[in-house]
Amino acid sequence: MAVQKDTLNIGIVGTGFIAEFHLRSMIGVRNVRVAGVYSRQAENRERIVSLAQKLDLGPCVSFASLDQMLESGDVDAIWILSPNHTRLDIMKQIHDAVTEKRSNVFAVACEKPLARTISEAREMLRLAADAGLNHGYLENQVFCTPVLRGKEIIWRRAASTTGRPYLARAAEEHSGPHAPWFWQGDKQGGGVLSDMMCHSVEVSRHLLTDPDKPRSSLKVKAVNGTVANLKWTRPKYAQQLADRYGGAVDFINRPSEDFARATVILEDEEGNELMIEATTSWAYVGAGLRIQLELLGPEYSMEFNSLSTGLKVFMSREVTGEEGEDLVEKQNAEQGLMPVLEDEAGVYGYTDENRHMVECFRKGLTPSETFEDGLAVVQMLIGLYRSAEIGQTVSFPADDLEDYVPLVARVASS
Ligand SMILES: NC(=O)c1ccc[n+]([C@@H]2O[C@H](COP(=O)([O-])OP(=O)(O)OC[C@H]3O[C@@H](n4cnc5c(N)ncnc54)[C@H](OP(=O)(O)O)[C@@H]3O)[C@@H](O)[C@H]2O)c1
């Protein structure tokens, strides 16, 4: 992996919500050029190319096929930012182009979750390794500015003098995703447990890991999960989904969970028991997306709530205008007292995540989050789904879960 490039030329696959977030974050990243964009529809590609040019991240080109982008000779690394069910085909195409020497791409970064099942995640890792690609798993919460700063302070000042932290709590909640495929269990891989618990378990595992040791220094011993349908199966809300997505989402007959709870028991190298407690939902109606993180140890604690912002604005009922997400992600209102995150790309972690991936790929270093971490996350999620299905705690290692498909993903694809 001895690469040394002054500027990393990246090609983006996917032109939706998260592609825009990544582009906006890239203005805080050095030594990078957004060189190419691919998704199926020309108008989407043009939108993202224009944004890249406007942000001065180019020159950037729209490619009508993934192979054209891979074979252009102008792209070093691919950022996979397309829906979960498209991942493996895209990764296979990258693998084939590189192993057949049609492409000089040498690195790949992939959005969360790495895959829908353990065997899919393992295949993503195998394909990247077989093609000799450097790989990064895009879990932004690990790079959230409060997580970077909070973890550094807790471990340097408190854990070093009074003992390691033992409990991490995480919650990520909002009022529901913005595109139909998220609500379709077979495409997405599940419901909110797959979509958002992937953040919570990984940021918790990261906070609990000694900064001087690898993530593998913690072993998962057991997981216990609960899933529920709290809001979106109610007839009025199921109808809202059907209307919003032209019948493509059927939450009466094919629902996926809108609430999930997880307990993950881990052990460190000295046999200390550690705990992750996490809650995620698509049934939270507050000002917008709420990320709540806590880390507790014998003489200390840290806590972060993304909606407890320093900046707030108040708008009376006389202030009217269009609905938007210009104050916080998944914003639910435009009047009253509103929290504002003045640098969402930074606070949510995209800027530091992309800076880290770009620097690692440019220099041929292994990122702190790789496809191996993405696989470990999927193992925890699948264990949680299995636990919820059988109503029992699942002990790890759980080798029988390799081909396990969550109930809602199974039902939806039948
Ligand atoms: N880190 C986070 O907090 C976070 C937040 C949101 C999403 N995500 C992740 O990001 C990924 C994308 O989510 P999103 O919210 O951006 O979804 P989205 O808004 O629905 O956009 C999906 C994009 O993928 C493109 N696409 C669909 N099928 C494709 C294919 N076969 N090949 C290439 N492009 C394809 C679509 O464009 P065309 O129709 O033009 O192909 C569209 O631009 C998901 O894995 C999701 O889990 C992460």
Out of 20, 38, 39, 93, mutate this one to test ligand 1's pocket (max ligand atoms within 8 Å of CB): namely 39
Q: Per-residue pLDDT tens for 279-320?
A: 999 999 998 999 999 999 999 999 999 999 999 999 898 988
Tell me if domain 8-140+351-369 and domain 142-347+377-413 are identical in fold.
Answer: no
pLDDT digits (tens, 9 = 90+) for 177-205: 999 999 999 999 999 999 999 999 999 99
**What distance lies between CA 271 and its chain's CA centroid?**
30
Instruction: Assign 411 a pLDDT band (cuts: 50, 70, 90).
Output: low
| Among 47, 55, 20, CA closest to 326 | 20
One-letter identity of residue 334? E
Give the distance (Å) from ligand 1 centre to CA of residue 83.
Answer: 4
Tell me the per-residue pLDDT of 42-71, one tens digit each, with 9 for 90 and over: 999 999 999 999 999 999 999 999 999 999
- Give me the architecture of the 142-347+377-413 domain, per CATH: 2-Layer Sandwich (3.30)
Nearest CA to ligand 1 atom 4: 18
Average pLDDT over residues 224-231: 98
Out of 82, 280, 344, 354, mutate this one to test ligand 1's pocket (max ligand atoms within 8 Å of CB): namely 82
Mutate to test the pocket of ligand 1, among 13, 17, 46 (most ligand atoms within 8 A of CB): 17
Give yes or no for residue 412 having a pLDDT over 60.
no
Ligand 1 centre distance from Cα of residue 151 (Å) = 30
Interval 345-366 mean pLDDT:
98
Position in ligand 1 atom list of the atom nearest CA 86: 31
Model pLDDT for residues 21-30, shown as the tens digit of each residue: 999 999 999 9
CA distance 381 to 359: 29
pTM for the predicted model, two decimal places:
0.96
Cα 176 to ligand 1 centre (Å) = 15
Residue 257 CA, ligand 1 centroid: distance in Å:
20
Closest ligand 1 atom to Cα of 44: 40
Mean pLDDT for the chain? 96
Atom 47 (ligand 1): residue with closest C-alpha? 112
Best mutation site among 81, 203, 347, 377 for ligand 1 pocket (most ligand atoms within 8 Å of CB): 81
- Which candidate, 10, 77, 57, 66, places its Cα nearest to that of 38? 66
For ligand 1, atom 7, which residue shows the shortest CA distance?
Answer: 18
Write out 128-157 in H/E/C secondary structure.
HHHCCCEEEEECHHHHCHHHHHHHHHHHHH
Q: In the prediction, which pLDDT does 327 show?
A: 83
Cα of 87 vs centre of ligand 1, distance in Å, is: 10
Residue positions counted in the chain: 414
pLDDT beyond 50 at 40:
yes
Which residues are near ligand 1 (CB < 6 Å)?
A: 13-19, 39-41, 44, 81-84, 86, 111-112, 140, 179
* pLDDT, tens digit (0-9, with 9 covering 90-100), for 144-180: 999 999 999 999 999 999 999 999 999 999 999 999 9
Ligand 1 atom closest to residue 40's alpha carbon, by position in its atom list = 41
Q: Write the pLDDT tens digit of every residue in 232-281.
A: 999 999 999 999 999 999 999 999 999 999 999 999 999 999 999 999 99
Taking residues 1-6, what's their average pLDDT? 83
Domain range summary for the chain, segments of one domain joined by +:
8-140+351-369, 142-347+377-413
Taking each helix axis from N to C end, the angle separating 42-54 and 17-26, rounded to the nearest 10 degrees, works out to 20
Other Cβ atoms less than 10 A from the Cβ of 112: the count is 21
Q: Measured in angstroms, how far is the CA atom of residue 111 from the centroid of ligand 1?
A: 9
Of ligand 1's listed atoms, the one at least distance from the Cα of 48 is: 43
H or E segment to which residue 53 belongs: helix 42-54
Contact present, 333 and 324 (Cβ < 8 Å): no
Going by CA atoms, what residue is nearest to atom 15 of ligand 1?
A: 17
Tell me the C-alpha distance between 378 and 387, whole Å: 14
Q: How confident is the model at residue 331 (pLDDT cuts 50, 70, 90)?
A: confident
d(CA 105, CA 298): 47
**Weakest-pLDDT range from 32-41, 190-199, 325-334, 379-388:** 325-334
Q: What is the pLDDT of residues 104-145, one digit of tens each?
A: 999 999 999 999 999 999 999 999 999 999 999 999 999 999
CATH-assigned architecture of domain 8-140+351-369: 3-Layer(aba) Sandwich (3.40)
Among the atoms of ligand 1, which is closest to the Cα of residue 45? 40
239 alpha carbon to ligand 1 midpoint, in Å?
24
Q: Whose CA is nearest to atom 31 of ligand 1?
A: 86
Q: How is residue 335 written in tokens?
A: 């009047």
Structure tokens at 44: 């989407």
At residue 414 the predicted structure's pLDDT band, cuts being 50, 70 and 90, is very low
Best of 12, 13, 18, 124 for a ligand 1 pocket test (most atoms within 8 Å of beta carbon): 18
pLDDT, position 377: 98
